[in-house]
Each structure stands twice: as C-alpha cells, then as structure tokens.
A and B are shown apart, each in its own frame.
Chain A
Amino acid sequence: EVRLVESGGDLVQPGGSLRLSCAASGFTFSSYDMNWVRQAPGKGLEWLSYINSRGSTIYYADSVRGRFIISRDNAEHSLSLQMDSLRVEDTAFYYCARDLYGDHTLDYWGQGALVIVSS
C-alpha cells in the first residue's frame, strides 16, 4: 500500500523557518518524481514545488521561490521542504504528492501537515 506521511507542521512566527518531511512507503520511492502542494484554510490547491526522481531537476512556484527548498533522500525514502522567511500567507495545509508519470499527475497524496504562521 502506497503511503505518504507528512510531519513537521507547527506554529511559527513570521520570518521564521520550518522543515516539513514526507515519509514514503509501499512503492519504490527512488523511481518517482514528487511534489509539494498546499491549501490555505478554506481555499483551493496551490502547487509549490517539484523534484524529479534523482533530485537533479527542481521547480518552484513564484510564490515560494527563493524562500523554500525541496529535497529528497532516496535512501531514506523521504521528501523534505525547507521553508524560510515564512509569511502569514504561508499558513496552510502542506501535502506531499507522488507524480505518477513525471508530468504532474499526482496519484497519491499524504494527509497533510498544518503550518500556521502567526505572531
């Protein structure tokens, strides 16, 4: 069974940092590209970042480029999102999602990690 489990969500002050992790199991993690997507409370989905299976190709949404860093550890079956210079508007549920074909068809999602940015 494919499982993606996010962790690391927390309450953080504006300007602070947080690192989210996504533990993958039930599939060959090193064979799949991965993505982060977020959803502000009561709002729609926003794609944030993509990393290919080897970690050699990375993309970011304009809203987080320069502040967030995506990375992966294939040996540990883990995806991460380092978030710096956090803003109030970064408050959201953060989901990791598996990329089925490498074309952003997201076939499995984690349950989400809640990040609250507030003073």
Chain B
Amino acid sequence: AQSVAQPEDQVNVAEGNPLTVKCTYSVSGNPYLFWYVQYPNRGLQFLLKYITGDNLVKGSYGFEAEFNKSQTSFHLKKPSALVSDSALYFCAVRLSDSNYQLIWGAGTKLIIKP
C-alpha cells in the first residue's frame, strides 16, 4: 500500500539550534513531495515541494528539504529554529501519474523552546 510516514509525533528543539522533521514514503512510480505547516486552528500553508532536479529544495520561512531517492525520504530542515516555527508539519506525496490526490503523513508537532 502506498503511504507516507512521519515517524515522530513531536520534535523538541531549542531556539537557535538546527531542526529536522522526518518524512519517508512508500509509493510506486515517481513522486512529487510536499511540506505544509499548520498553526493552531488554521488551515495549512504550503512550504515547499520537490518535483525533479536538485535534491535540495528551498522554501518559505528559511525551510529546506532534502529528497533522497534511495532512502525514500524527504526530511524538512532549518539551520536555526525560531520559537515562531512551533506548529504542526505535514508531509504529503502525489504520484506523477495519479489523479492528483495527495497521500498525507499524520503530522509532526514541532516545539521550539526559548
């Protein structure tokens, strides 16, 4: 079955330290990969996506993600965390030949402590 896994329910990071939010996927075909962020009681905001080409993708708010085909991973990273980065982060994947539906991870709560 096709799936997306975010193995950590919660990630705690001190402000100023680098952060990583993990995402792995299991799909057939060539995937398009996305990261979204959700603040409390709000809709999701798009952060970045991988389509093809350079494995390191840069996105909004200083976030970046690295696509690793051999490890089927797409981890979200930021060199220096801010308290305002605290939110719920979702990874999603869409197959290149799909009917445009997304497969979603369960989300990772990121807590940045001052």
The answer to whether A and B belong to the same complex is no
Residues of B within 8 A of A (CB): none
Residues of A within 8 A of B (CB): none
